[in-house]
Structure 1
Amino acid sequence: MEEKQQDKNTFSQKPFVFGLLFAILLAILIGGLFVGYNKSSMSNPGIISYKNEPYLGDKDAPVKIIEFGDYKCPACKGFNDTFFKQIDKELIQTGKVQFFFFHHPFINVDSYRSAEFSESVYKVLGNDKFWEFHKKLYDAQPSDPEAENKDIYKKDYLMNLLSTMASKEEVDKVVQSYDKKEGKLASNEDDALATQLGVTSTPSLFVNGKMFLGRDMKDLRTRVDAAAKEEGK
């Protein structure tokens, strides 16, 4: 199963879960919990490298959170539309957390293509442009990915989407990087790390290298505070 965030106005009062029927339907589509719950998986902070990864927040923040995500995953879109906004407001903007996005494409070729293209955006245009494009990709995800807009993740579409926030020269440079498989190399490294860490679904969160198995923002705040204490801060 996967979990989805409640409406922003009710999230703080209710657990971060689906209604029963919607949970079952989404589980069939994707599978796994939003947090990537897997009792057999063992976190190994030592194998995680944060170097050259897109991030938000203060580099000196005591706690690092990783989101493993897939741009075609509806639960990932739901996470970024709701739960992430609370993380940003309460943890990133307050200097408590440095937040990273790592790719774990798994649904189909669209997942891999969009991940690789966004990595080229990061490599060529930098961190800020990556996050702008990251948001555009999730905003563009159709409500029913299988019903309409089947060309949405193809190269020409990704180029056009990027052109709404970058010059033609910048787009051309990103495409050159993408065609040279530079984005694929970076995306594959993220994906390999996800496998090593036992990630089985998206979105999955790691707090200072340890898989987050909580259910809501309260659980995440508690885990972040504990992680900060572990770092002596």
Structure 2
Amino acid sequence: MANKKKVNPAIKRQQQQEYKQKEALRQKKLMRNLIIGTVAVIAVIVLLIIFVPNNKTAEATTFDYSQLPVKGETTAPVKIVEFGDFKCPICKQFNEIIVPQIQKDYISNGTAAMYFMNFPFLGPDSTTAALAVESVYHQNNEAFWKYFDTIYTNQGDENTEWATTDFLVDLAKKADASIDTTKLRQDIENKTYAKQVQAQYDKGKELNLPGTPSIYINGVEYTGDLGDYTALKAAIEKAKTEAGSEG
């Protein structure tokens, strides 16, 4: 059996601390804009054309979409990948405020599909939650999204270790996601999908993610404000147009 590459715990803890510090600054700005965005979203066509993040020269990143949970049609011309950590409060806000708007405007009509990748960096239980959702995904893609929402609805404080095995299994039972919760517990305890979680985390490190959530649209990093749906919508429209011109 090949030797697995081990990550130095001290180095990983240092990396997690660095990400936490960056996240604290990022969260202050994004939380404010997420709140403002819910009460003042002005859809002006001119702004949709002009206010596009500067992604023109960015080189597209490749993702193995077939190995990721997907919300929407796999044939959608616009593919949105979210890197997230279930302990991240901004991820919770993004998925409760912004994603429903993407669902309404793009996913429901087949224009876009949303994919998720784990980037567990806030604590040991971030990885526990990642192992849990991977288990659910490998049982049922549709159950994944129900469980995904349930975890965010019941999210604890990012500075406490709340995403325990018992808590996550209990949430799956409450979510009634039609999965085998005994297998879920076994998969978490046996770290069945640790390789997949680590690969997703490594992909995020390779991309030098600034924190979570981080978004890629058709392989191009979205560098705008995630709390500004007008700007995000412009980026999606741009990707839609470019996908159409390539088709």
In structure 2, C-alpha distance between the alignment counterparts of 1:140 and 1:92, rounded to whole Å: 25
1:111 correspondence with 2:122 = no
2:142 is aligned to 128
Per the TM alignment, residue 166 of structure 1 is displaced from its structure 2 partner at its CA by 4.5
Q: Helix, strand or coil: the match of 1:182?
A: coil
User: What TM-score comes out, normalization by structure 1 length?
Assistant: 0.78
Amino acid at match of 1:81: E
Q: Helix, strand or coil: the match of 2:193?
A: helix
Per the TM alignment, residue 196 of structure 1 is displaced from its structure 2 partner at its CA by 1.5
Per the TM alignment, residue 175 of structure 1 is displaced from its structure 2 partner at its CA by 2.0
When the two chains are superposed, the root-mean-square deviation of aligned CA atoms in Å is 2.4
1:12 is aligned to 41
In structure 1, C-alpha distance between the alignment counterparts of 2:144 and 2:132, rounded to whole Å: 10
1:173 aligned to which of 183, 195, 203: 183
Q: How does 1:59-208 map to 2 (within 5 A)?
A: 59-123=74-138, 125-142=139-156, 144-146=157-159, 150=160, 152-166=162-176, 170-208=180-218
CA contact (8 A) 1:63 1:98 kept: yes
Q: Helix, strand or coil: the match of 1:120?
A: helix
CA contact (8 A) 2:123 2:161 kept: no
Where does structure 2 lack aligned partners over 5 or more consecutive residues? 1-24, 44-52
1:45 correspondence with 2:55 = no
CA contact (8 A) 2:85 2:91 kept: yes
Per the TM alignment, residue 44 of structure 1 is displaced from its structure 2 partner at its CA by 4.2
Per the TM alignment, residue 229 of structure 1 is displaced from its structure 2 partner at its CA by 2.3
In structure 1, C-alpha distance between the alignment counterparts of 2:188 and 2:84, rounded to whole Å: 19
- Report the structure, 1 or 2, having the larger helix content: 2
CA contact (8 A) 1:43 1:197 kept: no
Per the TM alignment, residue 53 of structure 1 is displaced from its structure 2 partner at its CA by 0.6
1:226 is aligned to 238
Q: Helix, strand or coil: the match of 2:35?
A: coil
1:31 is aligned to none
2:71 aligned to which of 45, 50, 56: 56
In structure 1, C-alpha distance between the alignment counterparts of 2:124 and 2:82, rounded to whole Å: 20
Amino acid at match of 1:132: K
Per the TM alignment, residue 131 of structure 1 is displaced from its structure 2 partner at its CA by 0.6
- The 1:193–1:44 alpha-carbon spacing in structure 2 relative to 1, beyond 3 Å, is farther
Per the TM alignment, residue 184 of structure 1 is displaced from its structure 2 partner at its CA by 1.7
Structure of higher CA gyration radius: 2
- The 1:168–1:100 alpha-carbon spacing in structure 2 relative to 1, beyond 3 Å, is closer
In structure 2, C-alpha distance between the alignment counterparts of 1:198 and 1:43, rounded to whole Å: 14
Per the TM alignment, residue 13 of structure 1 is displaced from its structure 2 partner at its CA by 3.9
Per the TM alignment, residue 6 of structure 1 is displaced from its structure 2 partner at its CA by 1.9
1:217 is aligned to 229
**Runs of 4+ displaced beyond 3 Å:** 165-169
Q: Helix, strand or coil: the match of 2:79?
A: strand
Deviations 1:90-109 (A, max 9, x none): 12112111100111111111
Where does structure 1 lack aligned partners over 5 or more consecutive residues? 15-36
Per the TM alignment, residue 76 of structure 1 is displaced from its structure 2 partner at its CA by 0.8
Per the TM alignment, residue 213 of structure 1 is displaced from its structure 2 partner at its CA by 1.3
Per the TM alignment, residue 214 of structure 1 is displaced from its structure 2 partner at its CA by 1.9
In structure 2, C-alpha distance between the alignment counterparts of 1:217 and 1:79, rounded to whole Å: 10
- Identity across the alignment (%): 28
Per the TM alignment, residue 221 of structure 1 is displaced from its structure 2 partner at its CA by 1.9
Q: How does 1:24-43 map to 2 (within 5 A)?
A: 43=59
Aligned length: 202
User: What TM-score comes out, normalization by structure 2 length?
Assistant: 0.74
CA contact (8 A) 1:121 1:130 kept: yes
In structure 2, C-alpha distance between the alignment counterparts of 1:168 and 1:56, rounded to whole Å: 17
- The 1:226–1:169 alpha-carbon spacing in structure 2 relative to 1, beyond 3 Å, is closer
In structure 2, C-alpha distance between the alignment counterparts of 1:168 and 1:90, rounded to whole Å: 28
